[in-house]
Amino acid sequence: MKCRKCKAPAEIDLPSHNTACCRACFAEYFTGQVDKAIRHHGLINPGERVLVALSGGKDSLSLMLELSRQGYDVTGLHVDLGIPVSSAAARAKVENFCTARGLKLKVVELIKEGLPIPDVKQYIHRPICSACGKIKRHWFNRVALTDGFQVLATGHNLDDEVARLFANTLRWDAGYLSDQGPCLAAESGFARKIKPLYRLTEFETACYAFLNGIEIHTAPCPYSSGATFTGHKKLWSDLEYTSPGTKIAFYDGFLKRGRPAFAQVDKDQGRAVAPCTTCASPTSTGVCGVCRLKIAVTERRAADPDRQTDPDRQ
């Protein structure tokens, strides 16, 4: 198989785009797709500072590298969840990556913040993945706000976005369908949220990470029983295999013809947003959701006999 562009031996076969690439032309292709996303949807304006959420996986590290290569002013943010073994491994991958490439990195340690995920799992009776996601988003928003970033970038790829859009379309969730997309405008004290990899598949970000020698964290989270959208990803893999190009056509078609229809539908009125009285994050509930989580965890941990230093039991 030869590179369609330069006829060198191909390393990457991309039936969805009816093409195949050598590694040099793939790098160009990848850059072009990210650039197209940024220009087409106004994701980053000149001079803006971009905070990139870094989990340590292939998508987030690839995004960080590509944005820095395109000359954007990027800083990574890693949230250390405080899960034994797993969190230290993920954090090491992120730190090594940023150090080796000379990229700026901030780390939030949930243990220091009094809200490590193992405690949330132990003391809060709700699905841990949902609480953990909420806490991570809280910190991304909070660091963007307090450190003056205009833009918050995440590594969501086309497969993530299509699976999520599909789930929301199955339910015809009008609220969600009115604003899903690669750019969520800044609002009520939150930074603009962008997904510059939305045109690239999981396979393509994995190729990019490999070809750039990025060491990634691949171990699944010990608390997760599997990906939320795995079932739909399989279905979409079948659709894409049968009709190459279906994924991007579905997502682009939604942005062009689906979302505008739902955007006309009246949105529910936003409630008044004010700074959280504890942490200053924008919230409509006085004390924000994560600060309330922290209060609950702190109280229950203090009341837990197994977590107190009991001289009789030592």
Partner 1 sequence: MITVFIEPDNETLHFERLKTVLLLQQRLGLRVNDALVIRGDMLLTPDCRLQDGDEIRIRKVISTG
Q: How many CB atoms lie within 10 A of CB 183?
A: 21
What's 63's DSSP letter?
Answer: H
Contacting its own copies within 133-172 (CB under 8 A): 169-172
Identified binder of its own copies from the candidate list 231, 277, 284, 304, rule CB under 8 A: 231
Q: How far is the CB of 240 from its own copies (least distance, A)?
A: 11
- Which of its own copies, partner 1, none is residue 250 near (CB under 5 to 8 Å by kind)? its own copies
**Could you tell me if 96 and 61 are in contact, meaning their C-beta atoms sit under 8 angstroms apart?**
no
Helix (H, G, I), strand (E, B) or coil at 17: helix
Which alpha helices (DSSP H) does the chain contain, by range? 23-40, 58-69, 86-101, 117-123, 128-146, 158-170, 174-177, 202-211, 230-242, 246-253, 259-264, 289-302
Strand-pairing partners, residue 21, are 12
Identified binder of its own copies from the candidate list 70, 150, 246, 278, rule CB under 8 A: 246
Half-sphere exposure for 251 (CA within 13 Å, toward CB): 24
- Which of its own copies, partner 1, none is residue 169 near (CB under 5 to 8 Å by kind)? its own copies
3-state helix, strand, coil in the chain (%, to 5): 50, 15, 40
Those residues whose C-beta lies under 8 Å from the C-beta of residue 188, and which sit 6 or more positions away, are 270, 273, 282
Q: Establish if 238 lies at the interface with its own copies (CB under 8 A).
A: yes
- Which of partner 1, its own copies, none is residue 285 near (CB under 5 to 8 Å by kind)? none
- Which of partner 1, its own copies, none is residue 11 near (CB under 5 to 8 Å by kind)? partner 1
Cβ closer to partner 1: 12 or 191? 12
- Which of partner 1, its own copies, none is residue 34 near (CB under 5 to 8 Å by kind)? none
Cβ closer to its own copies: 41 or 101? 41
CA–CA separation, 212 and 72 (whole Å): 19
Helix (H, G, I), strand (E, B) or coil at 13: strand
Strands 151-153 and 73-80: unpaired
Residue ranges binding partner 1 (CB under 8 A):
1, 10-16, 20, 23, 57-59, 159-160, 201-203, 206-207, 210-211, 218-221, 224, 226-227, 230, 233, 237, 240-241
Cβ closer to partner 1: 226 or 311? 226
Q: How far is the CB of 221 from partner 1 (least distance, A)?
A: 5
- Which of partner 1, its own copies, none is residue 197 near (CB under 5 to 8 Å by kind)? none
Q: Which residues bind its own copies (CB under 8 A)?
A: 169-174, 177, 231, 235, 238-239, 242, 246, 249-250, 253-254, 256-258, 260-262, 264-265
